[in-house]
Amino acid sequence: MFHAALAPSHVAVVTGGASGIGLAAARRFADLGMRVCIADLDAERLRDAAADVAAAAPGGERHVLAVAADVSRRDDVRRLEQAVRARFGCVHLLMNNAGIQPGSGILGPEEHWEQVLGVNLLGVIHGTQVFLPGMLADGLPGLVINTGSKQGITTPPGDPAYNVAKAGVKAFTEALQHELRTIDGCAVSARLLIPGFVFTPLTARGRTEKPAGAWTPEQTIDFMMERLEAGDFYILCPDNEVTRDVDNRRILWAAGDIVENRPPLSRWHPDYAAAFKAFLERR
């Protein structure tokens, strides 16, 4: 069975819910009979997404709420929480999914760092800190799903702000789940969603057709639901070009940089290219 929070008439809140993984999740929750609130910045996309989610909801528009919110602003998240409770009452599921990726460099534009850290990391923290107290007080089965990234684990070169933010989401969600499991009688738990290569507006970069190696947002949510049913905390998604075994080896190699005292990001260091290749191929 799915997590007890995922039940008909229960309430799900999805940030970044107007497109991509967030919209696919919102549709799936609506299809389960849940009442769904989607939050995003773009008002036009938000309206279209709300109609899309309502088409999947047994209760139609009555069971869907769309709220414009900037999750990097705590006051916006507070208004979101108030709007959801005024419309639907208790919140059973919070999916902190909003994310941006404008690109960054170590000495890149300050505004890019502020935007990425504000949405991708503080957005998760704000959502959790604003919604969780009420979820705990309600005493009902609850679930917080935070969308991380493999880039927050293996931290590849090229976009350090994004990596830092997603590494923070990983550490925050691990600490959150640990804290929740230490609360007597707590019915709320947390999960970390770690997508693979997913074709979304965030990753399209001008492409109009899905690359063969990418999953669709719907495939990603299918996998998420499967692993929620299995009870996984780390929902590490493969895609059409990277298997779970390859992910495991990449993650182990990244951790090995510390254990073996190799240069940081040695996977991309020319002196370690042959060793990394052999490590991937080892059986």
Active site residues: 162
Which three-class secondary structure state does DSSP give residue 4? coil
d(CA 182, CA 174): 13
Cβ distance 152 to 97 under 8 Å?
no
Question: CA 139: distance to chain centroid?
Answer: 24
Nearest-angstrom CA–CA distance, 143 and 273: 41
How far apart CA 54 and CA 56 sit, in angstroms, is 5
Q: Are 81 and 134 in contact (CB under 8 A)?
A: yes
How many whole angstroms from its chain centre is CA 218? 14
Query: CA–CA separation, 104 vs 102, rounded Å?
Result: 7
Nearest C-alpha neighbor of 100 from the set 22, 31, 29, 37: 22
Of 40, 138, 23, nearest to 85 by C-alpha is 138
Q: What DSSP string runs through 227-257?
A: HHHHT-SEEE---SS--HHHHHHHHHHHHHH
Residue 35 identity: R
Nearest CA to 33 among 59, 55, 53?
Answer: 59
Nearest-CA neighbor of 49 among 70, 74, 30? 30
